Amino acid sequence: MLLKEVPLFEAESQRIKAQRRAGVPYLLTDGCAAAARDPQVVDAVASILGTRDLVMWGANIRLATPNEAHLWHVDLESSLWPTVTVAVGIAGCNPKSATWCIPGTQRLTLPPPAVGDGPDNLAQVLAAAKSLGLPHATPQQIENFGDGRFYLFNANVWHRGDPAASWDRVALFMHYQRAQDRRIPEMWDHRMREWSSRPAPYMALNAASKPNTATYRPPWRHRYEAFRRRWAQRLSGNA
């Protein structure tokens, strides 16, 4: 079912690009809803978040390694609010196509430096981690990934995809949070750090509960950064 839904996400991705936005296509399809309710996935997430009263948000099926996910980065939403990311292998997935992480960096207060994807980028990233208090920072790849398998991680950890091993990979990414928490807002443009006032598309997993419908508001510094970037773009004539 998930593989048949790939064209829906591709069409949404093209729509976002046509709007000249750097966004992620989030859709609540039947396949994503079924995957979100998978007992093994729910058990694993509940063991981390401490409750089965959960909300899944931001489901997206990705081909290869999209946008700038091949660079070391953190997911901004995960750096601001409690959430767990789940990756599900759909097609063309194998252990070499899993996410690379630098364990321990999720505890740091800064994201990895923006050093591009040159040959020395890893050395610079590791040096930055060590300067921030992780003297033994070492990249590790999540193990045993494949079609029909899933893994969980905190996307506030410094991480990256491997485009060389992921060019034909199709994977579903979902995010989970506690139903009692505020909803994660949808990021309108991740390069400009612009947020929507609406929550990212979500579904509650416990039909008997009523999830919190209020939406988190990004911190002032992030709203200011979005304002600053937008004005810089306008002054450069690229608006």
Average pLDDT over the chain reads: 90
Residue 235 has pLDDT above 80, yes or no: no
Per-residue confidence band for 234, with pLDDT thresholds at 50, 70 and 90: confident
For every residue of 134-189, DSSP letters joined together read: -TT---EEPPS--TT-EEEE-TTS-EE--HHHHTT-EEEEEEEEETTSPBPEEEEE
**Dist. CA 160–CA 191, nearest whole Å:** 16
Q: Which domain holds residue 27?
A: 3-235
Average of per-residue pLDDT across 90-101: 93
- Cβ neighbors of 14 (< 8 A, separation 6 or more) are none
What whole-number distance in Å separates Cα of residue 31 and Cα of residue 3?
9
φ, ψ for residue 7 (rounded to 5)?
A: -60, -30
H or E stretch covering 199:
strand 194-199
pLDDT at 102: 96
pLDDT at 117 over 80: no
Q: Write the burial class of residue 176 (CB in 10 Å: 0-12 exposed, 13-18 middle, 19+ buried).
A: buried
pLDDT per residue as tens digits for the range 210-221: 999 999 998 887
pLDDT tens digits, one per residue of 25-82: 999 999 999 999 999 999 999 999 999 999 999 999 988 666 667 889 999 999 999 9
The predicted pLDDT at position 167 comes to 73
Q: What distance lies between CA 43 and its chain's CA centroid? A: 20
pTM for this predicted structure: 0.90
The 159-160 sheet, strands edge to edge: 140-141, 100-101, 159-160
- Select the more confidently predicted residue: 230 or 28: 28
CATH number, domain with residue 99: 2.60.120
Residues shown for the chain: 239
The count of domains in the chain is 1
Compute φ and ψ for 204, nearest 5 degrees. -85, 140
